[in-house]
Amino acid sequence: HNHVRKYFDKPLWTMDDFLGRASESAREYYPKVYGDRADEAQDVLYKYVEEHHLNYLEPMSETKELLDFLQNNKMPMAVVSNKRHNTLVKEIEHVQYQNYFNFVIGAGVAKRDKPSPDPLLNAITALGEELKPHEILYIGDTETDLLTAESAQCPMVFIQSECLRPDLIKKYAPNYNYVSISELFKAFKSESDAKTSIAS
For the chain, the distance separating the N- and C-terminal CA atoms, rounded to the nearest angstrom, is: 53
What's the pTM value of the predicted model, to 2 decimals? 0.81
Q: What is residue 24's predicted lDDT score, i.e. its pLDDT?
A: 77
Percent of the chain with pLDDT over 70: 94
Q: What is residue 22's predicted lDDT score, i.e. its pLDDT?
A: 63
**Cβ(161)–Cβ(183) below 8 Å:** no
CA distances from 184 to 46, 149, 188 (A): 32, 18, 6
Dihedral class, residue 162 (left if φ above 0, else alpha if ψ from -120 to 50, else beta): left
Residues in the chain: 200
Q: What is residue 200's predicted lDDT score, i.e. its pLDDT?
A: 33
- Taking 50 as the pLDDT cut, the residues of the chain under it are 196-200
Residue 118: CB partners within 8 Å, gap ≥ 6? 110, 111, 112
Q: What is residue 197's predicted lDDT score, i.e. its pLDDT?
A: 45
Q: What is residue 53's predicted lDDT score, i.e. its pLDDT?
A: 85
Q: What is residue 96's predicted lDDT score, i.e. its pLDDT?
A: 96
